[in-house]
Structure 1
Amino acid sequence: MDFKDYYKTLGLEPGADDKAVKTAYRKLARKYHPDVSKEKDAEDKFKEVAEAYEVLKSAEKRAEYDELSKHAEQGQPFQPPPGWQAQGNSGFADGMGGGSEYSDFFESLFGGAGRSQRRGRNSSQRGQDVEMELPLLLEENQGAERKKVAFQLAQYGPDGQPLPAISKTLNVKIPPGVSDGERIRLKGQGGPGLGGAANGDLYLIIRLVPHPLFDVEAHNLILTVPLAPWEAALGGQVTVPTLNGKISLRIPANTQSGQRLRIKGKGLLNKSGEPGDLYALFKIVIPPQADEAVRALWAQLAEQAAFNPRTQWSQ
């Protein structure tokens, strides 16, 4: 059995500090990870790198390995010295990923404790589910829209160490009738699984962007329509906006402030793809400025109308 030079495997010199060991491992684990590497024998190289890191990342285990390396003779088969036994608990973490056994060299040094622990644990792990908010304009909530969603996924090596993030872009079809706070599940678009396990899911949390004109009530829209006093009193036609363009709306005579008028089918789509309604909420607005002539007309109107809007207070 040949002696394994774990320092050489990681491209390090003996005595390298912990930071150098971790940095070298992360770089090589990313390079040879079977899920991303196109190199020949990537899986075998990945296991060698992971095994080297298992030994060198712990000061106690590295001290044992360094002591044993003194007994290795160049070009000669290696055997642990008589009476040698690992002083630590040999409790190596599940860091191999993609394989089922440590090497014979490792087993000969540490008595298979790492192997037995690994067999008692599942080296495969489903990827993490990921949540992200998706801002959605009311105009985009009409059932035929697709949204480009760009995001990054954290990924980790078999030992839990972070690896470079994965950048993804999806063209997501927005189903009709989604409401604020609703979650859309995209199966398998979450964090990557380990050891051949399934990816996690991506959950998009819908956040309806407040509209400058429309308020939302379920799948109905509310539009505040300002009216001049004479428009409210005399009625007439006014042009009002909808999500799909402008329409002409007939205002009944004697319309009161706070009164609502239903405009059928001009709201948001529901789950069945049917539109809700738009409600025009009328608000009477007084002109901000008036010259003496206009004030005189207001005074004449008040005298002729003889109207007291607070009559009910005395009843």
Structure 2
Amino acid sequence: MEFHDYYQTLGVSRDASADEIKKAFRRLARKYHPDISKEADAEARMKAVNEAYAVLSDPEKRAAYDRLGQNYQAGQDFRPPPDWGEAYEFSTHGFSPGEEAEFSDFFSQLFGGPGGFRRQGGGHFRTPGGDVRAEVLLDLDDSFNGATRQLSLQLPQTDAQGRVRWVTRSLNVKIPQGVHEGQIIRLAGQGAPGMGGGPAGDLLLEVRIKPHARLRTEGRDLRMTLPLAPWEAALGATVAVELPNGHLKVRIPEGAQSGRQLRVRGKGIPGTPPGDLLLDLQVVLPPADTPAARQLYETMAQELAFDPRPSAKQ
């Protein structure tokens, strides 16, 4: 089944007012009415115009049509969601079988008979609000300790004419401890408002972590480069590592080399289970920029039987 672009049929924009829609209908009716038109396809065109106007002139049907069809173009293959008929109720009158017969299968699938809008006597147009996605930018400290952030969200709302307007809403959001990059925080009922008393959608917050001077996030794991003095790497040592929740003492084994990785389990971002801390060791040589430092390097060169390139002589 092909999607019908009712706005294109009437020649109006998607944010057209009710008055603009009415004027467009009257203009096209004068042009295509079978009693006065000389166009070869006047009857078919008039049916299409009537169908488009039947939807866009009704604020409730227009709002539902806009929500369902916002990602479709005229002629594109279209199938309504299986639960389409269960999600909506409306208060305005329906169409008789004779009236519906004048309209397309596309119209009937959405607004007529089983599978279309539910018609309940005395009922009201009711549709749930859509989910809203947004990003929240956090410091790494927030992942360890939790935080409260004030967000300004742009939310779509549909007015009485079925036109979508964007409104700004401020919301204080409690960020739980242990969130990590890419995690989705779902806040029930904080998304786009429903219509006719329908429930609001959810707010889906995607967590983004600001770059940290020393630490990188990999899910709940933390990774950092740990510089070592040559004697710490050669002899072994206990060094302090600063984390957002305090200092951690890490034991460096004897003979550690640059490029080796140490894993400290459970010391990453908190959670169930918590992440790990990954330390990439990097041996840093002190400069030979004083006579004493040069003397030490010269002594090592003479007394240590050490060849860093043994394979080069083979």
Which residue in 1 is equivalent to 2:128? 126
**Pair 167,217 (structure 1): closer, same or farther in 2 beyond 3 Å:** closer
Distance 1:226 1:164 in 2: 51
**Pair 100,160 (structure 1): closer, same or farther in 2 beyond 3 Å:** closer
Larger radius of gyration: 1
Q: Say whether the 8 Å CA contact 2:263–2:278 is kept in structure 1.
A: yes
Q: CA deviation at 1:298?
A: 0.9
Amino acid of the structure 2 residue aligned with 1:257: S
SS state at 1:142 partner: helix
Residues 198-213 of structure 1: pairs in structure 2 closer than 5 A: 198-213=199-214
Q: Say whether the 8 Å CA contact 1:154–1:164 is kept in structure 2.
A: yes
Verify: 1:142 aligned to 2:138, yes or no: no
Distance 1:263 1:207 in 2: 24
Which residue in 1 is equivalent to 2:294? 295
**Pair 290,155 (structure 1): closer, same or farther in 2 beyond 3 Å:** same
**Pair 287,59 (structure 1): closer, same or farther in 2 beyond 3 Å:** farther
Q: Say whether the 8 Å CA contact 2:177–2:270 is kept in structure 1.
A: no
Verify: 1:100 aligned to 2:92, yes or no: yes
Q: TM-score, normalised by structure 2?
A: 0.60
**Pair 194,60 (structure 1): closer, same or farther in 2 beyond 3 Å:** farther
Which residue in 2 is equivalent to 1:284? 283
SS state at 1:302 partner: helix
Distance 1:119 1:306 in 2: 88
Q: TM-score, normalised by structure 1?
A: 0.60
Distance 1:300 1:173 in 2: 57
**Pair 313,218 (structure 1): closer, same or farther in 2 beyond 3 Å:** farther
Amino acid of the structure 2 residue aligned with 1:60: R
Amino acid of the structure 1 residue aligned with 2:284: V
The root-mean-square deviation of aligned C-alpha atoms, in Å, is 3.8
Verify: 1:263 aligned to 2:226, yes or no: no
SS state at 2:308 partner: coil
Verify: 1:55 aligned to 2:22, yes or no: yes
Larger deviation, residues 167-176 vs 149-158? 167-176
Q: Say whether the 8 Å CA contact 2:152–2:168 is kept in structure 1.
A: no
Distance 1:96 1:215 in 2: 51
Amino acid of the structure 2 residue aligned with 1:284: V
Structure 1 residues 190-213: Cα deviation after superposition (integer angstroms, max 9, x where no partner): 222233333222211122333221
**Pair 163,254 (structure 1): closer, same or farther in 2 beyond 3 Å:** closer
Structure 1 residues 93-142: Cα deviation after superposition (integer angstroms, max 9, x where no partner): 3433374259xxxxxxxxxx99x999636454432222112223322223
Distance 2:193 2:235 in 1: 66
**Pair 96,251 (structure 1): closer, same or farther in 2 beyond 3 Å:** closer
Larger deviation, residues 155-164 vs 220-229? 155-164
Distance 1:246 1:284 in 2: 21
Distance 1:175 1:246 in 2: 19
Q: Say whether the 8 Å CA contact 1:55–1:62 is kept in structure 2.
A: no
SS state at 1:127 partner: coil
Q: CA deviation at 1:313?
A: 4.9
Amino acid of the structure 2 residue aligned with 1:174: P
Which residue in 1 is equivalent to 2:188? 187
Q: Say whether the 8 Å CA contact 1:155–1:166 is kept in structure 2.
A: no
SS state at 1:131 partner: strand
Amino acid of the structure 2 residue aligned with 1:229: P
- Which 5+ residue runs of structure 2 have no aligned equivalent? 1-11, 32-45, 61-89, 95-101, 118-124
Which residue in 1 is equivalent to 2:6? none
Q: CA deviation at 1:284?
A: 0.8
Structure 1 residues 128-165: Cα deviation after superposition (integer angstroms, max 9, x where no partner): 22211222332222374443333120212254323351
Amino acid of the structure 2 residue aligned with 1:96: P
Q: CA deviation at 1:290?
A: 1.4
Which residue in 2 is equivalent to 1:156? 158
Q: Say whether the 8 Å CA contact 1:56–1:62 is kept in structure 2.
A: no
Q: CA deviation at 1:63?
A: 7.9
Distance 2:171 2:208 in 1: 19
Q: Percent identity?
A: 32
Q: Say whether the 8 Å CA contact 2:133–2:206 is kept in structure 1.
A: yes
Residues 64-83 of structure 1: pairs in structure 2 closer than 5 A: none
Q: Say whether the 8 Å CA contact 1:127–1:193 is kept in structure 2.
A: yes
SS state at 1:222 partner: strand
Distance 2:216 2:152 in 1: 28
